[in-house]
Structure 1
Amino acid sequence: MPESAAGSPWLAHEGALAGLRVLDLSRILSGPFCTMILGDLGADVIKVENVEGGDDTRAWGPPFQGEDAAYFHTVNRNKRGIAVDLKDPRCRDLVGRLAATADVVVENFRPGTAARLGLGYEQIRELNPRAVYVSVSGYGQTGPLSQEPGYDAIAQALSGVMSVTGEPDGPPVRVGVSGADLAAGMWACIGLLAALHARERTGEGQWVDVSLLDGQISWLTYVAGGYFVTGEVPRRYGSAHPTIVPYQAFPTADGYLMVAAGNDTLWRRFAPAIGLSHLGEDPRFATNPDRVRNRETLLPLIEAALGERSAQEWGKALSDAGVPAGPINTVDQALAHPQVQARNMIAEVDHPSAGTIRMVASPLKLSDTAPAIRTAPPELGQHTAEVLGGLGLDTDALSELRDKGAVR
């Protein structure tokens, strides 16, 4: 694997999804995150925004970069942006014509809204039977909550994820990033790629229905598995693991250290490395089930030992001993970490009004068709003339729509 950007085979050439056209009717986070992944992989993504203000997240600041909030810029690179009034029949017709040329259509309206605009699955299917149609919503297209609006924090709450997040004696808390939205965007991406693969056999597209709640339920994995087996309701363990000890954050002399001694071999390395050799063979802690049963006795002993040195010192000492451990970084420390830098996970792109924008790069590393940041997030309506001109709309017709406020 390369250690730097120079000559790296992981940097951009023609993307894996080059030639794929995506009509992006989504906004805020889940849908835009999905379509950004596709854009990074080379797809031609056409983002459709409201002529009045555009995507909500353009205003979700501070901080702002140029005219728009930094939030918007984080999930909208590699897209061509058009701004139209979908309530105007002429604009709906133009967007329908774009859908007729698309391989994928992505929307994250409340169920039924896209259909009322003439852009629902059945309507798009009539225009383009080969299109893969993706709907991301709070609760899916069916069920008693299907018509409720979708919010990340509510999905985290209803799914049970919040109930197992936080300190044991504290309140439940949401994951520090919008996990339900981001997970739904990733599930949508997986689903649409599967549907595109199926299209190779059938010649037809299909409807991909993804919800924030379903995505969070899928994350319960071993937490749900434990409940199914024992009937015991899972509880909060803070940074700790319910079935592995020691596997959690410990205070040190100057900060917190995350330790992941995930098996008995690692435990027998860990105990002497922190000056507790006598505990390595103590029958109370000999096996992981023993340590789980006796965690309340063991953890204070570990805390006392780790409190003698800094997180960085312990991180190195434990790494040298072959024990997974590391300081808990703040965001600035994480972004500046040598491993993050070596993996080219921070990128820069020039924006027409905001100047140089730094952003998190794609985590995907493909040896021949690497993801790339080709274009900055679009300004509102930046590509309206270009995209609609590609449908045959002449300058006079575009000017008329602009004069009436139907496009920007």
Structure 2
Amino acid sequence: MLEEALEGVVVLDFGQLIAGPVCGMWLADMGATVIKVEPPEGELGRQLGPPWLNGESVTALSGNRNKLGMAIDLKHPAAQAVVRRIIPGTDVLIENFRPGVMERLGLGGAALRALRPNLIRCSISAYGQEGPWSGRPGVDGIIQAATGLMSGISSPMGEPGKAPLPLADMTGALFATIAVLAALRRRDREGMGAELDISLYNSMLMLQNLGLATFHATGEVGTPGGSAAPYAAPNEALPTRDGWIMVAAYQQGRWGQLCAVIGHPELTEDPRFRTNGDRVRNRAALRDALFPIFQARDTAHWHATLVAADIIAAPVANHAEVTRTDQYASSGIEVSLDHPIAGTFRMPGFALGSRPAAPRHPPPRVGEHSRELLGRFGFDAAEIETLIVQNVIREAAPT
């Protein structure tokens, strides 16, 4: 079971906002003990909204399930000593501060290796720990712009398009998780720790593998195509009487079948549309031919017709429509969590190869497990009380 794969692995998660926390959450979903470390006022993600659930940020709720929470003021003179006592019992450390912050806190690579030689440190940043842009701040939309994604999903009218989700952050979290798993595998085999440098910039370039390979092969910058795939046609959203339907009928047999089921078999003989290459080159003319046909009937009609003919198609659905489908219901992707403040909330679970297991516990409140965790790492009751009184450590108020 994947939810038990990392049992026994201890992760110290200094992540904030999205990329770092989501990486930690996925490791927790696979069974790791993940300790969310944040300042006494809470990490930045807790301040990001709307939306809110009873004052709790949905951004923070969506990236922190299955973790234990510790709140520590890293700027306090006594905090460094606390973290140094925790590091020897830690297998993985995740942080997504700007490069240099951990070093200024006395927790740079050399200091961490001295405490735990085989520690796996995963640093996530906008542009990486080195290079001409390493010191620049960068958030998701900036990375989408800087890596060419925004240009690539522009509308045909030329307005830049931004994926309406934190795609760079989620992609960075994905590659960070893969890197941590690979480093754990190597440590099991060779006993070595690792310094992992994950940049959102490189992650987004990796995501655009085909597009960049195509550019290098041709030297041509793609033109804005909206929903259209630059390498195939028809492979885009077509307007219907009441919405849009995405159609992928670029394979030659499916192109002929599409022309037959829409009642226009003559399109297969049009020299502009005979091959996929012809259709890509003459995409504007292809749209002129197909748009009026599809606009004559509604989306449900076309979807049923095309699916019956084994033509790859799907309505362009919003989230309300997605969550009403029988496929969504049967996928088992959704999990429900009960939070003491936010109440019950739903989100996609961790589903790789099997239905997601029910979450073990909801996202922690700020400092919810501070006292318990310090005890696990060998602090006695008097030490813990002193740290709380000195405001080095915060514990959550009772609910």
Scaled by the length of structure 2, what TM-score is found?
A: 0.95
* Secondary structure, counterpart of 1:208 in structure 2: strand
Aligned-pair distance for 1:117? 0.8
Aligned-pair distance for 1:366? 4.1
Residues 281-328 of structure 1: CA deviation (Å, up to 9, x unaligned): 333312101111222222111111111111121111101100111111
Aligned-pair distance for 1:329? 0.7
- Measured in 1, the distance between the counterparts of 2:325 and 2:39 equals 39
Aligned to 2:397: none
- Measured in 1, the distance between the counterparts of 2:132 and 2:249 equals 43
Aligned to 1:23: 12
* Secondary structure, counterpart of 2:78 in structure 1: helix
Alignment partner of 1:69 is 2:57: yes
Structure 2 unaligned regions, length at least 5: 395-399
Q: Given residue 269 of structure 1, which amino acid in structure 2 is its aligned partner?
A: Q
- Measured in 1, the distance between the counterparts of 2:285 and 2:347 equals 45
* Secondary structure, counterpart of 1:248 in structure 2: strand
Aligned-pair distance for 1:80? 0.2
115-124 or 89-98, which deviates more: 89-98
Alignment partner of 1:190 is 2:175: no
Ranked by relative contact order (alpha carbons within 8 Å, sequence separation 6 or more), the top structure is 1
* Secondary structure, counterpart of 2:154 in structure 1: coil
Matches within 5 A, 1:191-230: 191-230=179-218
Which of these residues, 343, 352, 364, is aligned with residue 352 of structure 2? Answer: 364
Matches within 5 A, 1:315-354: 315-354=303-342
- Measured in 1, the distance between the counterparts of 2:87 and 2:344 equals 33
The 4+ residue runs of structure 1 with deviation greater than 4 A are: none
- Measured in 2, the distance between the counterparts of 1:79 and 1:97 equals 20
Aligned to 2:365: 379
Q: Given residue 288 of structure 1, which amino acid in structure 2 is its aligned partner?
A: N
Taking only aligned residues, the RMSD between alpha carbons, in angstroms, comes to: 1.6
- Measured in 2, the distance between the counterparts of 1:46 and 1:262 equals 49
Q: Given residue 36 of structure 1, which amino acid in structure 2 is its aligned partner?
A: M
Matched pairs, number: 394
Which of these residues, 370, 378, 391, is aligned with residue 377 of structure 2? Answer: 391
Aligned-pair distance for 1:105? 0.6
| Kept after mapping to 1: 8 A contact 2:17/2:59 | no
Alignment partner of 1:239 is 2:223: no
| Kept after mapping to 1: 8 A contact 2:334/2:349 | yes
Matches within 5 A, 1:1-400: 15-51=4-40, 53-366=41-354, 371-400=357-386
**% of aligned pairs identical?**
39
- Measured in 1, the distance between the counterparts of 2:155 and 2:345 equals 36
| Kept after mapping to 2: 8 A contact 1:41/1:372 | no
Aligned-pair distance for 1:407? 1.2
| Kept after mapping to 2: 8 A contact 1:13/1:372 | no
Aligned-pair distance for 1:14? 5.4
Q: Given residue 29 of structure 2, which amino acid in structure 1 is its aligned partner?
A: D
Aligned-pair distance for 1:141? 0.9
Q: 1:398 to 1:338 in 2, by over 3 A?
A: same
Q: Given residue 34 of structure 1, which amino acid in structure 2 is its aligned partner?
A: C
- Measured in 1, the distance between the counterparts of 2:106 and 2:192 equals 20
- Measured in 2, the distance between the counterparts of 1:190 and 1:372 equals 23
Structure 1 unaligned regions, length at least 5: 1-11
Q: Given residue 121 of structure 1, which amino acid in structure 2 is its aligned partner?
A: G
Q: Given residue 118 of structure 1, which amino acid in structure 2 is its aligned partner?
A: G
- Measured in 2, the distance between the counterparts of 1:177 and 1:405 equals 37
Aligned-pair distance for 1:385? 0.7
| Kept after mapping to 1: 8 A contact 2:3/2:29 | no
